[in-house]
Structure 1
Amino acid sequence: MKSAALAAVLGTLIATPALAQGVPYACPVLASHVVANDGLTRSRAAVKSGRIVILAVGSSSIEGVGASSRSLGFVPLLQAGLERRLPGVQVTLINRGIGGETARDTAMRLEAEVTLARPDLVIWQLGTNDILRDRSTDDILTDFQAGRAVLDRERADVLLIDPQRLPETTTNPAFRGRNPALGDISTVIDQQATASGYAVLHRFTAMADWSGLDRGGVGPDDLHLNDWGYACWAEVTAEGLADALR
């Protein structure tokens, strides 16, 4: 589907969470996929002041790889979704996603990124590349704790985003059968978010309801999201995050 056509029908598709019979639409938008964990205090104060700065870090899905245009990636769509839900609030969303990064790569540059952006909220997407590279849970946790030390020192609020799902039908041997491990690290990330007082978006769980999307919202390379996948992910995040910030 062309970008213009997607934009024209997107609002209609994603605005309704479910059919009356309980069968989900292609993209059920549920605020419950975001859990605040008693965090987001600084961000709520920023929203009350009428201006919030958000820094998004992570790998290719933050960068927007796979979208047919830059405007249809996760970060610009999330900014638009937050602006619709938070009228009168100036939302500045800075995209610092770098394709291919692991949790270690992101943690190593967090201090420089936060110092430059001075965000109220940091969105940190992590886990997918770590699992695809067979990194151990202990190594991922070590990297997360290094990043947490930076974020807590800077007193930034944090929203963690766990891994995506991969198509069960993939024939790529590097991706086949990876969803159980991606689900396991999503559980670990959720546990760390609770322990840290960080908000978390359960992306892996949300994507389970995207069976009505072409390829489950994942592009032909079986890894990067397509336009529909980015649109759904952004709307789910905006719905839950705006609800938590009000």
Structure 2
Amino acid sequence: MKSAAAAAFALTLLSGAPVAAGSDPDAVVPGAAPAACPVSSGHLVANQGLDRSRAAVASGRLIILAMGSSSIEGVGASQPDLGFVPLLERGLERRLPDVEVTVVNKGIGGETAKETADRLTREIRAADPDLVIWQLGTNDVLRDRPLDDVFADFRRGEGILDEAGVDVLLVDPQRLPEGTTNPSFRGRNPALGDMARLIDLEGGRVGYAVLHRFSAMAGWTGLERGGVGPDDLHLNDPGYACWAEITAEGLAAALR
């Protein structure tokens, strides 16, 4: 939700000038999208969804529930307010200045699609959201879960989401560094890319919006370590900032 600090941050970004703190032109405001981040609304496809969220924006109050694993939780960010969820909230408030935006963080590190689906009902009842962001696929691939099992869990979650009458934005897997020396991660990008394509197809099939994170990350070559931290898995501050900005840009464009 809005604060004086967030408002100042917004005014600086909207000015189009370099983001700086105080009088030091080199003191970059934490959470600002890096100059190397290719921000575009084209990474998000609405798939004829988001009607409830558009109505919420028109009413002046939008509630989003963010579900998924460690990248929703914010693991890897140098401080809590530099994770995806708080940055997305601020990014949407900049773009939708007449709307009170609340993004509820219910990410749990290590979750698979099954574990997220298991708690969807409880979290939706607690947050009463207009929109549910469901980030999925990365841990399922890294744990070598059969695709049939993953999408059975997805369809179980789909039933819960549709019964609740909420909008849905699916976020596909992240990309891992090609040069990783971690044997658990080496050579995983083709499978992660396949998962991303299947999630895109499922989103189109059921009318859920999709954020193409995996393909977007191919353009993050100018970010520090490609937006991924030293463990070659969790995003770093520039990665979270870039991801939040492209999501906010795409969502705001779809909801206006």
TM-score in same-fold range (> 0.5): yes
Paired with 1:69 and 1:8, the residues of 2 have a C-alpha distance of: 10
Note the C-alpha offset of 1:10.
2.7
Give the one of 78, 81, 98 matched to 1:88: 98
- Give the letter for the 2:74 counterpart: G
Instruction: Answer yes or no: is 1:106 the counterpart of 2:128.
Output: no
Paired with 2:81 and 2:30, the residues of 1 have a C-alpha distance of: 14
Paired with 1:77 and 1:9, the residues of 2 have a C-alpha distance of: 7
Note the C-alpha offset of 1:137.
1.1
SS of alignment partner, residue 160 of structure 1: strand
- Give the letter for the 1:40 counterpart: L
SS of alignment partner, residue 29 of structure 2: helix
Paired with 1:175 and 1:8, the residues of 2 have a C-alpha distance of: 29
Give the one of 151, 156, 159 matched to 2:166: 156
**Matched residue, 2:43:** 33
TM-score using structure 2 length: 0.88
**Matched residue, 2:24:** none
**Matched residue, 2:79:** 69
Instruction: Answer yes or no: is 1:180 the counterpart of 2:202.
Output: no
Paired with 1:143 and 1:33, the residues of 2 have a C-alpha distance of: 25
**Matched residue, 1:58:** 68
TM-score using structure 1 length: 0.92
RMSD: 1.2
- Give the letter for the 1:216 counterpart: G
SS of alignment partner, residue 188 of structure 1: helix
**Matched residue, 1:10:** 32
Instruction: Answer yes or no: is 1:239 the counterpart of 2:236.
Output: no
User: How many residues are matched?
Assistant: 231
- Give the letter for the 1:7 counterpart: V
- Give the letter for the 2:56 counterpart: A
Structure 1 residue ranges, 4+ long, deviating more than 3 angstroms after superposition:
none
Unaligned segments of structure 2, at least 5 residues: 1-20, 22-26
**Matched residue, 1:136:** 146
- Give the letter for the 1:10 counterpart: A
SS of alignment partner, residue 170 of structure 2: strand
Paired with 1:210 and 1:7, the residues of 2 have a C-alpha distance of: 20
Paired with 2:189 and 2:227, the residues of 1 have a C-alpha distance of: 15
- Give the letter for the 1:235 counterpart: E
**Matched residue, 2:52:** 42
SS of alignment partner, residue 64 of structure 2: strand
Note the C-alpha offset of 1:242.
0.4
